[in-house]
C-alpha cells in the first residue's frame, strides 16, 4: 500500500479528529506510516486537525491522546492546519489547493495527433449530412393561398359588377366628385384582361353622385349606401391585387433560384475553436444578398411584421435537426424595430412612401443578420467567409444560411483555418445536377 501511494499519487489529504488508527510495526498507525513515507518521498501532504467540539461519550480517550501526540510532533513546522467548522475546512482546503497548483510549472497544452479535430464541409439532405450533394428549388407559386387569393379577387370583380347604379343627370354643387384614378383604372383593367374577366370600364368605375366633402382637413364621403359600398369595394380590390401581385413577383423570383444547404463537420475526437471557413464559387453563379428578391410592401401589409420576419428565416436559414445543429452567433437575430409603431403612438400614420422606406430598411437589416458572410472577389471567383467560434467533436453545425445561386455551380472549393489545426484544411464539394 505504501509503495502504491508513494510511487503513484501526486498528493494526499489527511484529516484527523478523534481516531488515530491501528498500530503497525514501525508507527503508531497505518495512517501515520503512510504520511511519513509520503513526506520522505517529497510528496505533497495536506494535513488537517479538527477542533470541533466533542461529546465525551462519542470518542475513545486513548485514540484521541494519540491524535494529540501526533499533532504536537509536527507543531511549528507549517505542515498542518486546524479548523472548527466544515465551512472553514472547505475554504482552507480550497486555498491550499490553489497555492499548490499555482506553484506547479505550467506547460503549453499540446493536443496529441490522435486527439485532433477533423473539420470538413458537407452537404445536408433532409436534415442529415449527405455524401450526395444536390441543389434544390422552391415551388412557392404552387402554394394554395396564391390560387385562393386569385379566386377571391375574381369573385370581388363580380360583386362590384353586380352593383348597378342608376345614371344621375344632375351633379351636386360645391362638392368634389369621387373618381377612380387613371392609374388604378389601368391596373384593374389589365388584371381583368390577363385573367379573362369581362369588364365594361364605364359601368365598372361609375360611382353615381358620390362626392367628398372637406371639413377642417377631414374628408367625408357623400352619397347613398350603394355608391359608398362600390367605392370601398374598388379600393379594397386594388389593395388585394397589389398584395397578391407582390407575392407572385417575389415567389416567381424565388422559384428561379437554386438553394444549397451545407454544414461544418468535426469528425475528430477533440473540439476546435476560432474557425474560419472560406467558400470559393465561380464568379457570377452566386446570388449575393443585395441581389436577393425583394418582398414588396404589399406582402408585408398582408403578413404583418413578425410573419414577414419568420418567412425570410424559413426561406434562407436551416433549423436544427437530430443530426445538425443550428448556427448561432451573437450577431444573429437582433431586435428589429417596426417604426410604424412610433407613428401610431404619435397619433399619425406614415405616408405610403414612409411606410415603404421603413419596410425596406427592416428588410435590409434582417437580410444582413441572416447572410453574415464577408464577400470578396478574386481570380474570377466569388469568395464567402464566415467564422464559427466553437465546434465539439463528432458534431455538425449548419452554415449561417443556405447558399443561393442564380445558376447551378459544378463544385465549391473550401478552406478551413482553426486554432488547433496547424495546417489549412482544403476540400471540394461536387454538386450533382
Classify the C-alpha dihedral 192-196-201-207 as positive or negative: negative
Query: Which pLDDT belongs to residue 217?
Result: 63
CB 418 within 8 A of CB 264: no
Q: What is the CA radius of gyration of the chain?
A: 39
What span, in angstroms and rounded, lies between the C-alpha atoms of 290 and 138? 20
Other CB atoms within 10 Å distance of the CB of residue 306: 10
CB 275 within 8 A of CB 388: yes
CB 153 within 8 A of CB 196: no
Query: Which pLDDT belongs to residue 182?
Result: 94
Query: Which grid coordinates are listed for 76?
Result: 511549528
Query: Which grid coordinates are listed for 323?
Result: 443530426
Among 289, 335, 285, 313, smallest CA distance to 398 is for 313
What span, in angstroms and rounded, lies between the C-alpha atoms of 255 and 243? 18
Residue indicated by cell numbers 406614415 = 350
Buried b (16+ CB within 10 A) or exposed e, 358-373: bbeebbeebbebbbbb
Query: Which pLDDT belongs to residue 168?
Result: 74
- The DSSP element (H or E) to which 390 belongs, if any, is strand 381-391
Query: Which grid coordinates are listed for 349?
Result: 400614420
Helices (H) and strands (E) in the chain, counts: 12, 18
Q: Which 3 state secondary structure label does DSSP give 54?
A: coil
Written as tens digits, the pLDDT of the chain (433 aa) is 555 555 577 788 888 888 888 888 777 887 888 877 777 777 788 888 888 887 777 777 888 888 888 888 777 666 678 888 888 888 888 888 888 787 777 655 555 545 678 999 999 999 999 988 899 999 999 999 999 999 999 999 999 999 999 887 666 666 788 889 999 999 999 999 999 999 999 999 999 989 888 776 677 888 899 999 999 999 999 999 999 999 999 999 999 999 999 999 999 889 999 999 999 999 999 999 999 999 998 898 888 888 888 899 999 999 889 999 999 865 444 444 444 434 333 444 556 788 888 888 989 999 999 999 999 999 899 999 999 999 999 999 999 999 999 999 999 999 999 999 889 999 999 998 7
Q: Give phi and psi for 336, each to the nearest 5.
A: -90, 140
CB 28 within 8 A of CB 78: no
The model's pLDDT over 242-277, given as tens digits with 9 standing for 90+, comes to 999 999 999 999 999 999 999 999 998 899 999 999
Q: Locate the DSSP E strands across 55-206.
A: 80-83, 119-125, 128-130, 133-134, 176-177
What span, in angstroms and rounded, lies between the C-alpha atoms of 236 and 234? 5
Query: Which pLDDT belongs to residue 61?
Result: 81
CB 210 within 8 A of CB 219: no
DSSP for 216-270 reads TTEEEEES-HHHHHHHHHHHHHHHHHHHHHHHHHHHHHHHTSEEE-EEEEE-SSS
Among 223, 243, 240, smallest CA distance to 157 is for 240
Buried b (16+ CB within 10 A) or exposed e, 205-244: bbbbbbbeeeeeeeeeebbeeebbebbeebeebbebbbbb
- The DSSP element (H or E) to which 432 belongs, if any, is strand 421-432
What span, in angstroms and rounded, lies between the C-alpha atoms of 135 and 261? 8
Query: Which pLDDT belongs to residue 343?
Result: 39
Among 51, 33, 52, smallest CA distance to 41 is for 33
Classify the C-alpha dihedral 314-320-322-324 as positive or negative: positive
Percent of the chain past pLDDT 70, that is, above it, reads: 87
DSSP for 191-202 reads HHHHTT----HH
Q: What's CA 301's distance to the chain center, in Å?
A: 25
Query: Which pLDDT belongs to residue 219?
Result: 74
DSSP tag of 401: S
Among 265, 279, 300, smallest CA distance to 371 is for 279
Amino acid at each position: 500500500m505504501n509503495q502504491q501511494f508513494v510511487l503513484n499519487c501526486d498528493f494526499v489529504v489527511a484529516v484527523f479528529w478523534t481516531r488515530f488508527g491501528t498500530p503497525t510495526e514501525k508507527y503508531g498507525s497505518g495512517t501515520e506510516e503512510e504520511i511519513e513515507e509520503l513526506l520522505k518521498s517529497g510528496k505533497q501532504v495536506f494535513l488537517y486537525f479538527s477542533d470541533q467540539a466533542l461529546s465525551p461519550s462519542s470518542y475513545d480517550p486513548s485514540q484521541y491522546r494519540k491524535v494529540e501526540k501526533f499533532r504536537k510532533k509536527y507543531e511549528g513546522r507549517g505542515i498542518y492546519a486546524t479548523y472548527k467548522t466544515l465551512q472553514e475546512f472547505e475554504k482552507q482546503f480550497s486555498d491550499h489547493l490553489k497555492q499548490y497548483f499555482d506553484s506547479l510549472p505550467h506547460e503549453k497544452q499540446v493536443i496529441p495527433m490522435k486527439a485532433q479535430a477533423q473539420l470538413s464541409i458537407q452537404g445536408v439532405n433532409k436534415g442529415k449530412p449527405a455524401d450526395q450533394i444536390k441543389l434544390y428549388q422552391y415551388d412557392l407559386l404552387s402554394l394554395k393561398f396564391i390560387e385562393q387569393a386569385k379566386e377571391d379577387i375574381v369573385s370581388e370583380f363580380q360583386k362590384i359588377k353586380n352593383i348597378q347604379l342608376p345614371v344621375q343627370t344632375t351633379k351636386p354643387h360645391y362638392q368634389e366628385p369621387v373618381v377612380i384614378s387613371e392609374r388604378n383604372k389601368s391596373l384593374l383593367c389589365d388584371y381583368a384582361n390577363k385573367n379573362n374577366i369581362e369588364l365594361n370600364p364605364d359601368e365598372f368605375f361609375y360611382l353615381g353622385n358620390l362626392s367628398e366633402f372637406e371639413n377642417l382637413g377631414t374628408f367625408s364621403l357623400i352619397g347613398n349606401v350603394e355608391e359608398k359600398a362600390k367605392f370601398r369595394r374598388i379600393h379594397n380590390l386594388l389593395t388585394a391585387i397589389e398584395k397578391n401581385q407582390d407575392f407572385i413577383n417575389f415567389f416567381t423570383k424565388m422559384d428561379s433560384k437554386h438553394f444549397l444547404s451545407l454544414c461544418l463537420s468535426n469528425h475528430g475526437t477533440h473540439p476546435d475553436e476560432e474557425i474560419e471557413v472560406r467558400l470559393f464559387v465561380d464568379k457570377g453563379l452566386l446570388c449575393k444578398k443585395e441581389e436577393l428578391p425583394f418582398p414588396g410592401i404589399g406582402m408585408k401589409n398582408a403578413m404583418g411584421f413578425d410573419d414577414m420576419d419568420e418567412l425570410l428565416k424559413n426561406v434562407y436559414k436551416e433549423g436544427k435537426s437530430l443530426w445538425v445543429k443550428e448556427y448561432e452567433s451573437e450577431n444573429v437575430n437582433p431586435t428589429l424595430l417596426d417604426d410604424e409603431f412610433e407613428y401610431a403612438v404619435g397619433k399619425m400614420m406614415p405616408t405610403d412612401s414612409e411606410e415603404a422606406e421603413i419596410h425596406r430598411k427592416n428588410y435590409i437589416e434582417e437580410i444582413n443578420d441572416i447572410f453574415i458572410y464577408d464577400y470578396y472577389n478574386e481570380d474570377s471567383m466569388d469568395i464567402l467567409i464566415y467564422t464559427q467560434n466553437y465546434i465539439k467533436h463528432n458534431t455538425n453545425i449548419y452554415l449561417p444560411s443556405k447558399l443561393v445561386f442564380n445558376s447551378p455551380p459544378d463544385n465549391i472549393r473550401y478552406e478551413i483555418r482553426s486554432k488547433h489545426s496547424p495546417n489549412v484544411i482544403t476540400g471540394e464539394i461536387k454538386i450533382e445536377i
